[in-house]
């Protein structure tokens, strides 16, 4: 899918998520979608995108397939550059701390959680010919 189409699709998805408070984010009760708002790493302008997530013991797992793009998606690169991010799940807004998983921790999350939940995601890694980045969004410590 072309980069321009991904951008247009993202804008529509973000508009729908905001308008409907995430009530019809994925079209499936089994697919969990959140809206992530993170400052752009170069501009500082808040950027929003809708991404799939899975619940994990220490937070929410998100991964950057970029639909099989050869480079990590912009939203994931922005996530790497911040200490905190805004997350909306349905009508609920929370601040969370992103932590990129590496090594064995990343491999375990990718294989034992993400691919087990949806084996079809693996096709994006094959297409991209890169390691798909994985992060956990941890609740803000008060």
The whole-model pTM stands at 0.86
Q: What is the pLDDT of residue 25?
A: 55
Question: What are 104-125's pLDDT values in tens digits?
Answer: 999 999 999 999 999 999 999 9
- Torsion angle of C-alpha atoms 15, 16, 22, 28, degrees rounded to 10: -140
Q: Is the pLDDT of residue 6 over 70?
A: no
**Residue-averaged pLDDT of the chain:** 89
Domain count, the chain: 1
Q: β-pairing, 54-56 with 46-52?
A: unpaired
Alpha helices in the chain (DSSP H): 3-20, 74-80, 103-108, 115-117, 122-128
Per the structure, the complete domain to which residue 49 belongs is given by: 3-139
Q: State mean pLDDT over 114-139.
A: 94
Q: What is the pLDDT of residue 9?
A: 72
| Closest residue by Cα to residue 87 from 20, 39, 40, 38 | 38
The enclosing domain of 40 has a CATH number of 2.30.110.10
Rounded CA-CA distance 99/138 in Å is 8
């Amino acid at each position: 899918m072309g980069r321009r189409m991904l951008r247009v699709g993202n804008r529509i998805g973000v508009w729908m998520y905001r308008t409907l408070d995430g009530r019809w984010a994925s079209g499936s009760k089994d697919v969990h979608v959140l809206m992530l708002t993170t400052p752009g790493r170069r501009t500082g302008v808040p950027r929003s995108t809708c991404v799939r997530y899975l619940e994990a013991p220490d937070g929410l797992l998100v991964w950057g397939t970029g639909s099989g793009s050869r480079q990590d998606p912009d939203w994931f690169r922005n996530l790497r550059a911040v200490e905190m991010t805004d997350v909306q799940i349905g009508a609920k807004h929370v601040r969370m701390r992103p932590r990129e998983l590496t090594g064995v921790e990343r491999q375990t999350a990718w294989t034992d959680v993400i691919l087990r939940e949806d084996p079809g995601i693996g096709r994006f890694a094959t297409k991209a010919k890169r390691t798909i980045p994985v992060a956990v969004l941890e609740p803000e410590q008060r």
